[in-house]
Copies of this chain bind each other. A is one copy, B any other.
Amino acid sequence: MSWTSQEVRLAARPTGRPDASTWEFTTTQVPDPEPGQLVVRVELLSLDPAMRGWLNDVRSYLPPVGLGEVMRAIGAGRVIASAHEDFAVGDAVSGMFGVREFALSDGTDLTRLDLDLAPMGTWLGALGMPGMTAYFGLHDVGRVQPGDTVLVSAAAGAVGSTVAQLAKAKGARVIGVAGGPEKVAWLRELGLDEVIDRREGSLMRAVRRAAPQGIDVYFDNVGGELLDAALANLARGARVVICGAISSYNDETLAQGPRRYLALLVFRATMQGFVVFDYADRYPQAVAEISQLITDGRLVATETVLEGGIVAFPDALLGLFDGVNIGKLLLRL
């Protein structure tokens, strides 16, 4: 037997926002697995800001997606056929399946998901790459300490909401920045000490007001104006964690960069970038800690699941940049 799988391929590299010309829908037949292989039916597709970077033909931490290749994406689903001794039909797994409905795999880099511990969506969010990004960025790069003042951008997003809650659990004072009253209200419910609506008034003044003693850790997912506002309001010895810059990912030219970077000198501060994949051997430790916090009710794992199937992928990806999501953004296939 075989499975008819729709796939989304990169048809043309976008300048600026991806549009219809960026993608090509193709159909392929996924065959029965040969010995050592298995077939996964992808149920949930992860939408991540990093995907935009993978479309650019530049040297980065991963090679760009090639023209004509299936778009790189993380997904989760169930094994529906297996000739692999480690996986049985019905197993829940996640992996870098790409934007496709059915994936043939040799088992390499698959993660087995314990759905008794958390539902499948959470394994793509707080217990998946965004959660790992939050955990290692905050602890290893940000070196957060109890009593620190932590500023988190895109705080209602998958990474940001996990950072904010991990920082609270560590005993930090947490200031979140998000766009719009719905996200602000949600973050207040999560117990953040201060929430700034980035659409209201001056970011520079809002950050100063929220952190009169200065920011010890700024976890930056957005870049742009907020990064400058954070730099201008650092505490001495602050750590600025560069996780991403979603505000500029669709820019057609290189953004202007942090104009206030000399604040690093004034405040004896550090700005450091990281890539979560470097911490892969310690994911189990992070999963154990985060899942314990979830079990204890100290960390709320939230996902926004879009319906519509694989044909909705192009719009779903744009939704990420428009900030439609609270928590992790997923597309149900």
Contact = CB atoms under 8 A, between A and B. Distances in A.
A321 to B, nearest CB: 16
Contact of A257 (B243, B245, B261): B261
A259 B266 CA distance: 20
A270 B268 contact: no
Contacts of A278: 268
**9 closest A-B pairs by CB:** A265-B273, A264-B273, A257-B257, A257-B259, A256-B256, A271-B271, A270-B272, A257-B258, A254-B259
A251 to B, nearest CB: 11
Contacts of A256: 256-257, 259
Interface in A55-83: 59-61
Contacts of A273: 262-270
Given A254-B260, A256-B257, A272 B274 contact: no
B271 A261 contact: yes
A275 B270 contact: no
Nearest to A240: B271
A88 interface: no
A242 interface: yes
Interface string A212-256: 000000000001000010000000000000111100000000111
Contacts of A271: 261, 264, 270-272
B266 A60 contact: yes
Contact of A268 (B244, B265, B274): B274
Given A60-B266, A261-B261, A265-B275, 12 more contacts: A61-B266, A242-B262, A243-B265, A245-B262, A256-B256, A257-B257, A257-B260, A258-B258, A264-B271, A265-B273, A266-B273, A268-B274
Interface string A265-307: 1111111111100100000000000000000000000000000
A132 to B, nearest CB: 15
A234 B245 CA distance: 19
Contacts of A261: 242, 257-258, 261, 271
